[in-house]
Structure 1
Amino acid sequence: METEDPTPVTTLRVRAALVRPSAWTLWRQRPRVIGYCLACVLAVVLLTVLLLRSRPPTRGDLVLFAVLVGLGILQAELGRQVERVRRRLSGGPHVTMSSTWTFAAVLIVPPALAAALTAVLYLHLGLRSWYRLHRVPPFRTTNNACCVILSCYAAAGVLLVTGVHDMPTAIAVGWQGVAAVLGAMVMQFVVNAVVILPARNTIGRTPRELFGGWADNGLDLATLCVGVFNGVVLATLPGLIVVALPLVLLMHRVVLVSQLEAAATRDEKTGVFNPAGWRTRAEAALAHTERAHTGLGLLMIDLDYFKQVNDTYGHPAGDAVLKATAATITRSVRDHNDAVGRYGGEEFVVALPDIEPGDVAIVAERIRHAVSQLAVEVGTDAQPTIITGLSVSVGTATRPTTGSTLDALIAVADGALYQAKHAGRNRVVPGVSA
């Protein structure tokens, strides 16, 4: 009689990866990424050995370390479902709550123990919260942990240079201690933001693509601030550290709500605004330009011969082309105030607030040229296919020249797009009011 193997598929996959290093996802990355990830691991190992020799932990340090490990794992367990949803919704940099504990460790225990705490918490996150998410391969979790450890070491270096080795010393020296702790917090924030960049397969060009939005950075700073207060509590009244747990869990849920709100306005396939989300942003932009007596530009963009892409390479390849096109349009607009949305199918729409009529055509032409230079890699790692020769047709409209309402501008831009398609495609046609 045949019985079903109760071992989860994920567990089997993890075991296979551990037994066969040749199967690691890391080796399928770009050489730059492979080299950098290995260099980070080596740097962490060497620095940890040196720091253990220069400042070995005491029994009291180990007790504080055990407390932080316990609280960190308990918080991760209580917020495991929230963390999994947040990680699934994350389309860019993902901020965990671990800094609330790791930065407290920087301020309380030797740097090597802060590194050990980071390793334990990220291992727990990987095994308990992210194990079902295929977008989080083990090498990414390992590299993220290494980058956090390096940022912890940089923060500890600030404390060492200022002569404030830990939080008890900072409390004793007053304002000098305040400056040292704030300097360490800023150092950890900056180093963590910068050191992760070379590990990405694609490094963005804009500050937002490189370092994330204000919300991501604000959350990162908030977790570091909580870490400061945790450090103060552990240095004065250690028993009160348990009150930090509800605060961190509440932060976690508030962040999830904001991510869910953002996800409701985004197109899942391309990451730009969906029609409802784009219309909300465009209506707000239109109202702003009316109050400020400035112009508003609107672009209707259609990917030429998209059906041929689906018919030739398959729908997964078509999805990759749509995503690449959306990313290219987003990079080609002026800044984050320009709202890019997917209007339907292979059609995109852009609202350009506070723009002169002549500049609308410049942005449209920049988008058209950027898409024409696209090379989208599809298929498997073993048999990749590069799709080139893409193009878009663009119709434009401006307020108040060609219309004063959003629907009027859409109608004008859509008519201009229709003309561009019938004139041979791969061109920009300005709209004319009826």
Structure 2
Amino acid sequence: MTWALIRSEYHVADFGYFAGLLALAVVQAELSRTVERLRVRIAGAPHINMTSVWTFGGVLVLPTGLAALLAVLVYGHLWLRVWRGMSQRPTYRVIYSAAAVVLSTLVSGACAGGRFETGLAGSALIIAAAVAYTVTNAGIIAVSVRLHTGARSARALFGGVDDNLLEFATLVLGGMTALGLVYEPFLVPLVLLPVQVLHRSVLVRQLEVAARIDGKTGVLNAHAWHELTQREFAEAAGAQDTFGVLMLDLDHFKRVNDTYGHLAGDAVLKAVATTISEQVRDYDSVGRFGGEEFVVLLPRAAEDDVLVVAERIRRAVQELVVDVPGAEGTRRVRGLSASIGVAMYPVAGRAVDRLLHVADSALYQAKHTGRNQVVSMAVAA
């Protein structure tokens, strides 16, 4: 960033644009302090951030060095006024996120040329800069998440569709802000209104999602999973599709709590939930029914495919190693296993409760015939 600041060429207007964008970012952060603190507590996509409105706008109208400095100052203000003291946003994470945005700014600034242009060529540069900004930022954060958590699913690394649509919306607003600064600077403060509305809408959406999620494991809670399965039943009946339900229970989980403590048990449950989610498709649904029992919905799948997935989950749980902190240092929990019961729609039943009953019967048989195995509804019948 220092090198970019030294090498950049400046015009008087650049410093006016810089001051305007920084002022707007500060005002927006102050107006939305409460909303942002709530949003951060339940946020799921680490690279999605409303600051893109200002930092990307800076990419389009500022020399690359000033655009990078703007990102640093915006993040510094957010940390001081909003994120400081929040366990969800420790200092090192803020620094890392700011560094990722600075790098994204430098890369996208190279695409945009550091100058705002109009016409077809200018539009192409803006699109290229937006793509470079998003890919660089998301890629850096994804690598960090992968290294620190071991997550491998696309949703865990890059966020969901809604998350990335939000990022796209902030980039669009950033482009509009840049246009306003160049052609109608006195209208630019009006951008604050859609940014505030978007910010609050994001919080409402995240609260809705949080109400459906099991707080301990991050997968669907029992009520949300049951609702989703009811909808799948209706769709499958109309399309004459088949789908599978897996019911999974960790074997001898009480030993984990007794040996390592309940906090370690919670860490194991979360790791198992993540492992299950990584072994299924993005449109499959994983839920927690309570205790150490999980359930998986596999729509549009034949029985052979469902059994393959169940066996893959069983092996992944068996190979799982969970590091848990303790008074005597980090300890490793290994030797886990799971029993899994399988039921298929419509053979095993045409109602949710019936299908769950068959899956539970298959799970019961798996438990009482050796554990650490998959039993299908055909065996359980």
**Range into which the TM-score falls when normalised by the shorter chain:** over 0.9
Match of 1:317 in 2: 264
Deviations 1:180-218 (A, max 9, x none): 111111111111111223333135323223211111111
TM-score (norm 2): 0.96
Question: Aligned partners of 2:267 and 2:3: how far apart in 1?
Answer: 46
When the two chains are superposed, the root-mean-square deviation of aligned CA atoms in Å is: 1.5
**What letter corresponds to residue 376 of structure 1 in structure 2?**
V
Q: Is the 8 A contact 1:130 1:136 kept in 2?
A: yes
C-alpha displacement of 1:112: 1.2
Q: How does 1:54-69 map to 2 (within 5 A)?
A: 54-69=7-22
C-alpha displacement of 1:132: 2.8
Deviations 1:307-327 (A, max 9, x none): 111111111000001000101
**What letter corresponds to residue 227 of structure 2 in structure 1?**
T
Q: Aligned match of 1:393 in 339, 353, 359?
A: 339
Indicate the SS of the match to 2:294.
Answer: strand
Match of 1:206 in 2: 153
| Runs of 4 or more above 6 Å deviation | none
Question: Aligned partners of 1:197 and 1:414: how far apart in 2?
Answer: 37
1:361 aligns with 2:307: yes
Give me the identity figure in percent. Answer: 45
Q: Which runs of 5+ in 2 are unaligned?
A: none
Indicate the SS of the match to 1:395.
Answer: strand
Match of 2:216 in 1: 269
Structure 1's 102 and 382: CA in aligned 2 closer, same or farther, altered over 3 A? farther
Question: Aligned partners of 1:268 and 1:148: how far apart in 2?
Answer: 29
Deviations 1:62-103 (A, max 9, x none): 222111111101101111111111110023425221110111
1:82 aligns with 2:35: yes
Indicate the SS of the match to 1:273.
Answer: coil
Question: Aligned partners of 1:344 and 1:301: how far apart in 2?
Answer: 11
Indicate the SS of the match to 1:318.
Answer: helix
1:242 aligns with 2:186: no
Question: Aligned partners of 1:146 and 1:205: how far apart in 2?
Answer: 23
Structure 1's 381 and 214: CA in aligned 2 closer, same or farther, altered over 3 A? farther
1:166 aligns with 2:115: yes
Q: Which runs of 5+ in 1 are unaligned?
A: 1-47
C-alpha displacement of 1:381: 9.3
Indicate the SS of the match to 2:83.
Answer: coil
1:224 aligns with 2:171: yes
**What letter corresponds to residue 345 of structure 2 in structure 1?**
R
Q: How does 1:128-167 map to 2 (within 5 A)?
A: 128-160=81-113, 165-167=114-116
Q: Aligned match of 1:379 in 300, 325, 344?
A: 325
Structure 1's 100 and 144: CA in aligned 2 closer, same or farther, altered over 3 A? same
Question: Aligned partners of 1:232 and 1:91: how far apart in 2?
Answer: 31
TM-score (norm 1): 0.84
Deviations 1:371-406 (A, max 9, x none): 000101001497110000001111110011111111
Question: Aligned partners of 2:143 and 2:222: how far apart in 1?
Answer: 34
